[in-house]
Each structure stands twice: as C-alpha cells, then as structure tokens.
Amino acid sequence: MSATAKTKAITVPDIVARKSGEKLVSLTAYTTPVAKLADRHCDIVLVGDSVGMVMHGLKSTLDVTLEMMIMHGQAVRRGMERALMVVDLPFGSYEESPQQAFRSAARVMAETGCAAVKLEGGTSMAETIRFLTDRGIPVMAHIGLTPQAVNLFGGYRVQGRGDQALRVLADAEAIAEAGAFSVVVEKVAEPLARTITERLSIPTIGIGASAACDGQVLVVDDVLGMFTDFQPKFVKRYAEQGADADAAMEAYAADVRGGRFPSAEHIFPDNGPRLAGSGSAA
C-alpha cells in the first residue's frame, strides 16, 4: 500500500477479508519513532516479544514479561494511526489456563489500545483461543517454530519436514477452527506452508515459510540491518543501518578526540559584554 494512500484504520475484519487477496505487509515495532514509519507502509504492526532480544539483550524471548510488552505496546500505540496493532502475549502469561490468558489479554488491550493479541501454539492452545474470541478478544495465532518453545524443539530448527508435517498441519487447522483471525507460520518447510495457506480460510503470515502465504512479517531490525553479526536465512536486508551507525559513531568519536567537534557552527556565540576572566583585554 502506498505511503501516501488515504484510508481508514485497518480492522480485524479487513485483515480477514484480505485472504487470497492483496498480500498483507507486517513488521515488528517496539518504539514510537519506528511505529510511525511502519504505520505508513504496513497493514499489521506487531509488538513482538522479540523485543527482549532486540532491545533488551536477552538470549531468548522466555524472560520477557507482561509489563515489558505493555510498556513497548504503549510506545508503539503513540505512533499508530492506520495499521492494525497486535501485541504478543509473553511466555508464562497465558499457557496455564484460558482464564489466565483472558486476564493477560484483557490487560494488554486495555493498557495499550491494541486491536488484537498474538499467542503461540496450535492444538494445545485451541481451547484458549476459543475462550478469548468468544469474549471479544481477537487472536492472531503462531505455529511452526514457536520461539517460546525453543527448548522443546532443541533450537531454532525448521519445522514441518517429514513426520512433523501432519502435526503442524493439525495445529493450523485447530487454531483456525478455534476462531483465530490469522496465523503466523514461522520457519516451516515451504511445501507445507503453501498447503496450510491453501487449506485455511484465514490469512497466513509467513516468516521463513512460503511466498504463497497471504502475507509476510519480519523483525524490523533485521530488515534495516541493525545487526552486523547475524542474518537469518529467511531475512532480506533492505538497509545496512548497523554498519552505517557504527561508522557514524567512529567518525564522531574521532572528531571529539581530535578537537574537531564541536566547531564554530555547532556552538552559540554571545554578542553581549564579556564576563570578567573570559579572555577580555580590558
């Protein structure tokens, strides 16, 4: 969608209606300035629990708290006008029971103003998804590689190959039947991701999955090239801001140490009477 297009705020029904239509564009955002940019170009802005790794230096998403998601959700909300805002429910805030999930989701929606929440899991989360949607909380599901279960998977491995395919497909069908309005399909073998997209009546949002998905999502810092030491196979960088930032900081440090910054153009002259001891010849 053009950055200059005039349109109303995107709603959950709008996203559902895009199934098999114009591709859905999604990026993560964790701050107000980035949200303002993403809002101009995306249909969905996801406040992902990847914030823990991207902005807080955590080794995984498992240590992310509900309070962290709410804080970043509030920041993103301030930069939003048109895209659909979705906030991740972090690990430990919804798995115990549908009732726990409802309390967490209701708090997130009330305190951030988001339009929907996202949770990980397939068949095991179907009851929870139904419980939430029956009570007016739109849910984006997340299947395939679910980072909150990384220890169970033994790492960030591709899902849906061989005997795994039937399990992932069952997860997809279960969450759709339970009422999820869309589903993130992460790091799933391409043929299976394509099959899931064809079978489900709700939009699929791929990340390391298939171009046949109804949309795509990436972590915004990956897209911008903020990390110079790691690039997942499924990421396409559209900028190299990490390298640019490193070079800029190096140049700044050199100018400060060399006495070249600040120069006359960066300081404020005083044309009034000089203070005693300021270098006056008087």
Q: Which residues carry out catalysis? A: 186
On whether the CB atoms of residues 193 and 214 are closer than 8 A, the answer is: no
Residue 250 marked as a ligand binder: no
Helix (H) or strand (E) holding 141: strand 139-144
On whether the CB atoms of residues 89 and 118 are closer than 8 A, the answer is: yes
DSSP states along 161-222? STTHHHHHHHHHHHHHHHT-SEEEEESB-HHHHHHHHHH-SS-EEEESS-TTSSEEEE-HHH
Spell out the residues 6+ positions from residue 65 whose beta carbon is closer than 8 angstroms to its own: 90
Q: Which amino acid is at 48?
A: G
Sign of CA dihedral 112, 116, 122, 128: positive
On whether the CB atoms of residues 260 and 267 are closer than 8 A, the answer is: no
Residue 88 marked as a ligand binder: yes
CA distance 232 to 234: 5
Residue 49 marked as a ligand binder: yes
On whether the CB atoms of residues 80 and 34 are closer than 8 A, the answer is: no
CA distance 246 to 227: 11
Spell out the residues 6+ positions from residue 230 whose beta carbon is closer than 8 angstroms to its own: none
Residue 120 marked as a ligand binder: yes
What residue numbers does the annotated binding site for Mg(2+) cover? 49, 88, 120
Residues annotated in the binding site for 3-methyl-2-oxobutanoate, as ranges?
49-50, 88, 118
Which residues sit in the known binding site?
49-50, 88, 118, 120
